[in-house]
Structure 1
């Protein structure tokens, strides 16, 4: 290998390093600095405050498949929703609780109904994928309601960014897992968001905003798949 080849390799290495930093930094959006508890207290959101407490208790010692605390993901979903001007007590509470039945116990839906009411329980019910449930039925159920579309987009936005920025970090953050997430997002979530954005549904503007963020994250993820070997 001559000097010019060595120089090119170093340049490519620097470009890849810079791209990794860019992708990691993109995940650190302004919503990372939002204090959900302080926001809920300042805006009189009692259900959101209770959901914070309950989510911490439900997810106590529960880890995600990537090894992080389960509560972190729920908190990030709430931060994304607040950043995009979703100030509804019910929606934020549902965002914090959306993974509780699926990742711990489906029976906890009863606890959610008793503690937070039927509206929040219904949102969480719709967002909960049952074991072996056909993914087409799952997303068809979510697509029937603009609020659950909104919550699912925020959920996927955080998951996709987390997978992309940590690609290759360990046995969980694999190309196969990221590829599956990219494919699922293009097949189900993007069309769902596009349809919601084309009609005058509730929260249409925010759905469009988060959809655009998701498209940028998909571009990052696909670029990472091609270059981060």
Structure 2
């Protein structure tokens, strides 16, 4: 059987828990347990643990921890970034437990809740004017694009996620490089990773479209042949 390490959440979670404790990132460690209890289901493939999404992103950002302007708060936000949007927790809950900077950043990562939906232009503009979310959001999109085959997305959604990277992420990260030059090497790395994932996603979408066309052609042939076959 093929070994898929990202599906072994237990080992990844144990590593992160130990690493955070070793850095004395007690707030982030608390967030790890807090969020894991909330995100305790499966992803859309029905196999992968839901919290693997957050674990991947934290692991991805760890090599750059010494370049982060707010190291622990950035990691904490990455862990909590879906909490307001996907659970019953509110901005005030996050702020009370993890501080105002994390509460504000988690709110910036929230596109909608049960009371509002942000416009895309406003949403992305604010994201890339913050030193935490300007890193957390591209990292989130990298994993979204990477894991799309498991989620069984519609082709239109796959292409939109790639288009959004060009429309919002590239110009947003360019702006963030100027605002937060200490993090410039991270933005450059994220841009490279995003461009690779976008290229891969578009090739994947093209294959899906070809497959859809073949299925449609086969169905059309079956429909055209059905009256003839019935008359024999």
TM range (shorter): 0.7 to 0.9
Give the direction of change, closer, same or farther, for the CA distance of 1:139–1:124 in structure 2 (3 Å limit): same
Give the match for residue 132 of structure 1: 117
Structure 2-normalised TM-score? 0.74
Deviations along 1:107-133, one digit per CA (max 9) or x if unpaired, are 432221111111111111111112432
Give the match for residue 93 of structure 2: 111
Structure number with the bigger relative contact order (C-alpha 8 A, sep ≥ 6) is: 1
- Distance (Å, rounded) in 1 between the aligned partners of 2:37 and 2:12: 23
* Structure 1 moving runs of 4+ over 6 Å: none
- Counterpart check, 1:48 vs 2:28: yes
Give the match for residue 122 of structure 1: 104
Give the match for residue 15 of structure 1: none
Structure 1's unaligned 5+ residue stretches are: 1-24
Once the two structures are TM-superposed, the CA of residue 85 in structure 1 deviates from its matched residue by 3.4
Give the match for residue 177 of structure 1: 157
Which of 17, 25, 34 aligns to 1:37? It is 17
Give the direction of change, closer, same or farther, for the CA distance of 1:66–1:129 in structure 2 (3 Å limit): farther
- Distance (Å, rounded) in 1 between the aligned partners of 2:18 and 2:94: 23
- Distance (Å, rounded) in 2 between the aligned partners of 1:109 and 1:128: 10
CA RMSD, Structure 1 to Structure 2 (Å): 2.6
Structure 1-normalised TM-score? 0.75
- Distance (Å, rounded) in 2 between the aligned partners of 1:83 and 1:206: 10
- Counterpart check, 1:205 vs 2:205: no
Deviations along 1:26-67, one digit per CA (max 9) or x if unpaired, are x99xxx969211211221110111011100112233x44554
- Counterpart check, 1:94 vs 2:77: yes
- On the 8 A contact 1:147/1:203 being kept in 2, the answer is no
Once the two structures are TM-superposed, the CA of residue 147 in structure 1 deviates from its matched residue by 1.8
- On the 8 A contact 2:17/2:32 being kept in 1, the answer is yes
Which of 157, 180, 191 aligns to 2:142? It is 157
Matched residue pairs, number? 194
